Chains A and B, each alone.
Chain A
């Protein structure tokens, strides 16, 4: 089998995948729920929702870390996804032998810890006293919570990844960027394999409020599982969620040499930054269009070779409109019949994890021959003419997927994945 692509670069195989979302832990639980159109969105119980406009989310509430703050929870989500991915890859759990790329949310000292420290301060003189209390407390766990390098350090230790692990943020495109960085490192010949993880356990009260103040979240709280409705006319914002996705990336040559199962191929990655606005995309969609085209070009593929699109599909009025505009520009009339679905209709928006979680689901779509639906598609938006695989799964042989990830700060990253190497 040829192990280099049409550009002479190593072909990048995926040999392990792991996932955790509000639908459950592991590939099987998630896939079962996903193809049966089950939603993981539920009322918030982690903290009181008094004064909040949004009272639902896709938080992962079934783990011991769920109430321990964003840093610890993000670590545990990443750890569970990584363990599943490494196990599937057949590599030893503690000796991955390649670098780690972790997409994770920015961290801060948790409010509960901040208030507990303050209660112990001698003088109660605002932030000055907080610093004094910190100095007295010698609370290394609190310190670690405030350090951006902590989570990756711990994962690197546990999985025996090589070198200085990279923690990255490209907002809601982060998970895809982690995969892109791993792909690029293998292509440069720096390593035979890499562990790419997107993880986000940062759904704190303050995070919810911050997104809410930007009017990004839906307030359709009454029937939580109906709140996320990408591409529908009555979509009204995204649902904040948590989760993690992990992929073992490996040069095809290395995967074949050790007899690993090749689960799919990362064929191409593309990105393009937007200079229009901090939260809105350029009205002509040119950056997203540029990112899709860059991914196709990096994959050495033409538009008509894409058979399914795993949408960013956040369910915000702005995203879904712009995603439709961008895709229609690239794919033309074919966009009316090219299947596209949004996993976020069921899992919500897992933010830093989304690109990695959705890459796992994209690869499973090809392997299983089933396209997960876009649920809650009851009121089509006439301005968005798409085959969103409405409400029910579809059996289909899919050999190539485009997965979109767009984020605040003008981040646009697209991945092209295929079932087979060539």
Chain B
């Protein structure tokens, strides 16, 4: 134990299963956890939609809510939950000195304007002029700010007064991995005493599905658990809206303010495997080696997306360790892109905190677990690139 150990003292998580640590624990430890799905709205793609959220609970000013679209609202809301949970909400001095790393993609485009341009583009050839005409007259000026990646962090600063520092990482799952890895490294090195880290993903927008489907990554037709999509129609990914923010601090900082931690953040490792020239399973195995895992049975919260190649490689690599008991949470939440790794870490921390495991999320593929909860593994292997994992341990 060291005063600079990284401990997790707050979490704000939202998914189709509900909001908050308790709601997720209840939903995920139910006898047979069941996914919440919307199969109609974006058919033939199923998605895991956001639950009903009373935004005003964490974003009291309506003016602030209006300045954001759902993605930013979701992240700002989850960040508020995390701060509340850590007992930091409204603590002006600690928020003003708090650092922040946000994993972000882009915000929502105006679908009405875009569709008007698409329709008009079939009628005329001067597309550049068409763009100028429509975009100069129909775009809402403030929409740009709702689309900018770093404005999720910006809104968290405005709404929750977190202003020590503000950095936004981009790059799908890898952004979430780097955010967690950098946050933990800064705390361990004494570069930060307390830090807010996380991400949000709002899938209920055609552009968010488009970005996956340009490479055919989305699963189609009948929904299946994440490990059972190989050979099915489409690319295997079912997306979900969700967010995960964590408050990390040094053990010393948490103890000084009398907070009990959920868990400690152990080592986090990341990788850029050359997937076209090297077997991805080997790359994932190399990360597992670096983590020096315990030999005893180990609960593993896998962020596997369902993408065929990446998911098969992760199964192969993790499967070669007989002591790992997988829980593919995307079966229940869907794939949350930038938020995927922070979410995996949050679920791992909850299991450590409760000292009890999650039941199988897919009884046909996941084994029962009755081992120790002193440590839990969390993974996020990108559907297309970048990989990461980390060990969450008892605080």
Contact = CB atoms under 8 A, between A and B. Distances in A.
Given A106-B106, A126-B115, A273-B162, A164 B170 contact: no
Contacts of A149: 170-172, 174-175, 382, 384-386
Given A111-B131, A273-B162, A156 B272 contact: yes
A17 interface: no
Contact of A271 (B165, B186, B218, B385): B165
B171 A152 contact: yes
Interface in A357-414: 407-411
Contacts of A171: 148, 150-151
Contacts of B270: 163-164
Contacts of A137: 214
Interface string B163-179: 11111111110110110
Contact of B164 (A119, A126, A177, A273): A273
B72 to A, nearest CB: 10
A109 B121 contact: no
B211 A146 contact: yes
Contact of B129 (A50, A206, A209): A50
Contacts of A111: 117, 127, 131
B163 A147 contact: no
Contacts of B167: 168, 170, 177, 181
A139 interface: yes
A124 interface: yes
Contacts of B144: 210-211, 213-214
A407 B131 CA distance: 27
B80 interface: no
A80 interface: no
A148 B127 contact: no
- Max chain B Cβ within 10 angstroms of own Cβ: one of A156, A157, A171, A279: A171
A284 to B, nearest CB: 14
A181 B191 CA distance: 11
A287 B163 contact: yes
Given A168-B170, A213-B144, A272-B163, A108 B106 contact: yes
Nearest to B115: A126
Contacts of A140: 214-215
B249 to A, nearest CB: 18
Contacts of A256: none
Interface in B86-145: 100, 104-106, 109, 111, 114-115, 117-119, 121-122, 127-129, 131-133, 135-137, 139-142, 144-145
A188 B119 contact: no
Contacts of A410: 154, 157-158, 163, 166
A138 interface: yes
Contacts of B274: 157
Contacts of A210: 139, 144
A411 B147 contact: no
A124 B122 CA distance: 9
Interface stretch (B202-210, B221-229, B320-328, B344-352): B202-210
Interface residues of A, number: 78
A253 interface: no
B372 interface: no
B132 A167 contact: no
A118 B127 CA distance: 12
B395 interface: no
B61 to A, nearest CB: 12
Interface of A: 47-52, 104, 106-109, 111-112, 114-115, 118-119, 124, 126-128, 130-131, 134-135, 137-140, 142-143, 146-149, 152-153, 156-157, 163-171, 177, 181, 184, 187-190, 205-206, 209-214, 271-279, 287, 407-411
Interface of B: 67, 100, 104-106, 109, 111, 114-115, 117-119, 121-122, 127-129, 131-133, 135-137, 139-142, 144-145, 147-151, 153-155, 157-158, 161-172, 174-175, 177-178, 181-182, 185-186, 189, 191, 206-207, 209-211, 213-216, 218, 270-272, 274, 382, 384-388
The 7 closest A-B pairs by CB, nearest first: A409-B154, A149-B171, A127-B206, A143-B214, A143-B215, A213-B141, A148-B170
